[in-house]
Amino acid sequence: MDILKQRILSDGQNLGGGILKVDGFVNHQVDPVLMEACGQELAKRFKHVGATKVLTAEISGIAPALTTAHHLGLPVVYARKSKPITMPDQVFLTLTPSHTKGRTVELIVSPEYLGSGEQVLIIDDFLASGQTIMGLIRLAQTAGAEIVGIGALIEKRFEGGRDILSHLNVPIEALAVIADMSDGKIVFKD
């Protein structure tokens, strides 16, 4: 998606070590016009999968998940990273490593909002190592739901996440696929 690629090149920063800073338009300050366009494109790519819910991780995945779900007419469930007092005692919980946080984080979903028979489309800001998305998959599978697709705004192909997820045999889409970030570059696949 050219608009996203151009924004990454103009406003993104390669911080080294595989870290791409997109805080100014994706995951700290959010550009709603860009997210709307991304959500529309992801919805177009996944309209055929029969999803009944969109699942993402708090907090960076919420904006693209929300706009995608809006265009599909679906609710969004986001995995929380801490359990609020309003959540029931029995929850779905998994642990996953966070590359940007440098530690393991919890992902928690209430069984009130994710259950057996759901057809789940996972949408996140990044597909990198695949660990956060694998955590979301574990939550959905524990709930008895089926994964029907995985989408991301940005994929760092060189981190191997797509390979980790390929066994699911579901569509995996990314709007901007980065092939290389060595030497301070940002090089897109294609």
DSSP result, 38-100: HHHHHHHHHTTS--SEEEEETTTTHHHHHHHHHHHT--EEEEBSS--TTS-SS-EEEEEEETT
User: 101 vs 163, which has greater pLDDT?
Assistant: 163
- Architecture of domain 2-188 in CATH? 3-Layer(aba) Sandwich (3.40)
pLDDT of residue 142: 95
Give the separation between CA 84 and CA 65, rounded to whole angstroms: 21
Stretch 68-79: mean pLDDT = 98
pLDDT of residue 61: 95
| Domain chopping of the chain, boundaries | 2-188
Residue 73 CA to its chain's centroid (Å): 18
pLDDT of residue 83: 81
137: preceding bond cis by omega (within 30 degrees): no
Please return the burial class of 119, using the count of CB atoms within 10 Å of its CB with bins 0-12, 13-18 and 19+: middle
Stretch 147-157: mean pLDDT = 98
pLDDT of residue 75: 98
Mean pLDDT (the chain, rounded):
95
Asked if the model's pLDDT at residue 155 lies above 80, the reply is yes
When pLDDT is cut at 50, 70 and 90, the band that residue 100 belongs to is low
pLDDT of residue 109: 95
Report the SS3 class of residue 117. Answer: coil
Asked if the model's pLDDT at residue 79 lies above 90, the reply is yes
Asked if the model's pLDDT at residue 168 lies above 90, the reply is yes
Asked if the model's pLDDT at residue 98 lies above 80, the reply is no
Is 93:108 a contact under the CB 8 Å cutoff? Answer: yes
Asked if the model's pLDDT at residue 190 lies above 80, the reply is no
Question: Which structure tokens are listed for 111?
Answer: 């069984």
Asked if the model's pLDDT at residue 30 lies above 80, the reply is yes
